[in-house]
C-alpha cells in the first residue's frame, strides 16, 4: 500500500480528517479512499504498459486519467481508468499486443455520483467495488465509464 497518513481514526474521537480506516470499539470499515488504495495495491502488475487515447497519453483530457500494467504472473493486462467527470464517458480502448486477449474481461468499478456520500459504521459498504464480466470482440474494448469512478479492466492474454 502507498503511504497514507493519517491511517486510523476512532469514530468517537479523532484529531483530523480524512482518515483511511475508521474504527469504534467493535467494528472497522474502510473509506472510499481505502478502497482506491486497495485496488491499486492489489493490481500493481509487473511492468508498465503505455496507454493512449487519440494518440495522446490519457492524463486529464475530459477529466479522464488512465494507466495500464501487465502482470506476468497472472498473464493479465490491467487497465485502470479514472473518470473525474460528472458525466459518463464512452471510450474505445485499443489493445496493442502480440498476445491474444481473451474474449471476456473482469471489470471492477468503484463509483458514486453523490460526492457527499461516504462509508460509515452504520453503512460500511456504502461505496465499494462492484465486479462483473464484460465481453468484446477483437482487440478493442468499447466501454462507458461511470461519473466519478475508478474502473479496472483485467484482460487475460495468451
The CATH code of domain 18-156 reads 2.60.40.1180
- Cβ–Cβ under 8 Å, residues 28 and 64: no
What's residue 2's pLDDT? 63
Report pLDDT for 21.
93
| Tens digits of pLDDT across the chain (158 residues) | 566 678 899 999 888 778 899 999 999 999 999 999 999 999 999 999 888 887 788 888 889 999 999 999 999 999 999 999 999 999 888 777 777 888 899 999 999 999 999 999 999 999 999 999 999 887 788 899 999 999 999 999 98
Neighbours of 151 (CB within 10 A): 23
Amino acid at each position: 500500500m502507498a503511504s497514507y497518513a493519517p491511517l486510523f481514526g476512532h469514530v468517537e474521537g479523532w484529531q483530523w480528517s480524512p482518515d483511511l480506516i475508521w474504527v469504534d470499539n467493535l467494528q472497522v470499515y474502510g473509506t472510499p479512499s481505502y478502497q482506491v488504495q486497495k485496488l491499486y495495491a492489489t493490481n500493481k502488475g509487473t511492468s508498465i504498459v503505455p496507454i493512449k487515447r487519440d494518440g495522446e497519453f490519457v492524463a486529464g483530457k475530459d477529466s479522464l486519467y488512465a494507466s495500464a500494467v501487465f502482470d506476468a504472473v497472472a498473464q493479465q493486462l490491467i487497465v485502470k481508468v479514472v473518470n473525474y467527470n460528472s458525466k459518463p464517458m464512452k471510450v474505445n480502448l485499443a489493445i496493442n499486443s502480440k498476445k491474444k486477449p481473451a474474449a471476456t474481461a473482469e471489470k471492477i468499478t468503484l463509483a458514486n455520483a453523490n460526492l457527499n456520500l461516504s462509508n460509515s459504521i452504520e453503512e460500511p459498504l456504502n461505496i465499494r467495488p462492484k465486479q462483473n464480466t464484460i465481453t468484446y470482440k477483437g482487440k478493442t474494448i468499447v466501454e462507458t465509464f461511470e461519473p466519478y469512478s475508478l474502473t479496472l479492466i483485467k484482460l487475460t492474454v495468451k
